[in-house]
Amino acid sequence: MNFENAHIKNAKVSPANIGFYKEYGYLVAEQLLSVNEIDELRMETAEIFRGNRGHVDGLVDPGELTDQEILKKYIAIHFPHKISKVIKSYLLHQRITDVLTKIISPNVKCMQSMLFVKAPGKAGQSWHQDEYYIPTRDRSLTGVWIAIDDASLDNGCLWIIPGSNKSGYIMDRVPNTSAEYADVDTVDVSGFAKENIIPVEVKSGSVVFFNGYTLHSSQKNKTEDCFRTALVNHYMSAESMLPWDQDGKFDPTDDLRDIMMVSGEDPYGYKGTIDVNRPYLRPETLKIKTSL
């Protein structure tokens, strides 16, 4: 495995990058966003969790608390782009969509944003495939993980199993017994060679792209004073419909139209779009779409 091809250089996607993504299911664009852009995202994160961008059920009165004291009370917020023009603008970021049009399709739509604020001591996410939660018809689902803070082994960076996307099927979920993870279930990855389970440590401003079938996780933040904040957005080909009921939140559908085009043309534009998702706080212990 030539890990050099996993890295996008100078924000330019090479044929070798595209080949690596198809084979191994992820790419890393180091410091794709500027320091000023990351500062903007960091300030906007505080404003959102202070309630200054709109009402979200469960947000507490910030009072005289500092930004760090506020952020320690939360895990993540889903769909922040619904109330934040800044977050919404990063869904459309040109350097990000330039990559997406090379690895997905010239026609790309976004259907979700998530803003994670993993504070010191907070557990991570267990092994999972995003496609399990967000089903597409053509395996085009792509996660875009923007590091607002440096992500290290100590504060709970991403872990990825390169090549786990190749099977093209959803792996069975089993009960989670590890204190590293907040979820009630996980995927048993013991069948993968340990040397093929790798951490993805990145600097602030870096962006990790990964396929919806690629197994990934993140461990507990073991630091005493370092957050691991990240903006994670999900995209897919506009050519594919989106049969996503959001774990029973909506009636079953062949094509959820609460989407935003970020590049190219929408073949289903004649259907129009809807605005049904509202921002909500992620619970500390996650139990969604599980038969356990």
For residue 283, what pLDDT is reported?
A: 87
Domains of the chain in start order, with CATH, are 3-281 (2.60.120.620)
Question: What is the average per-residue pLDDT within 198-211?
Answer: 98
pTM for this predicted structure: 0.96
Residue 266's identity, in one-letter code, is D
Q: What's the pLDDT band for 291 if we cut at 50, 70, 90?
A: very low
Considering the chain, what percentage of its residues have pLDDT values greater than 70? 97
How many other CB atoms are found less than 10 A from the CB of residue 58? 11
- The answer, yes or no, to whether residue 289 has pLDDT greater than 70, is no
Q: What confidence tens digit (pLDDT) does each residue in 143-165 have?
A: 999 999 999 999 999 999 999 99
For range 221-235, the mean pLDDT: 97
10: pLDDT strictly greater than 60: yes
Strands (E), 120-263: 142-147, 158-160, 173-175, 185-187, 198-200, 207-211, 216-218, 228-237, 260-263
Q: Which pLDDT score is estimated for 284?
A: 76
pLDDT computed for residue 285 by the predictor: 66
CB neighbourhood size of 138 (10 A) = 12
Better pLDDT: 83 or 292: 83
Is the model more confident about 287 or about 84? 84
Nearest alpha carbon to residue 203 among 19, 28, 86 = 28
Check residue 247 and give its pLDDT.
86
What single-letter DSSP state applies at residue 67? H
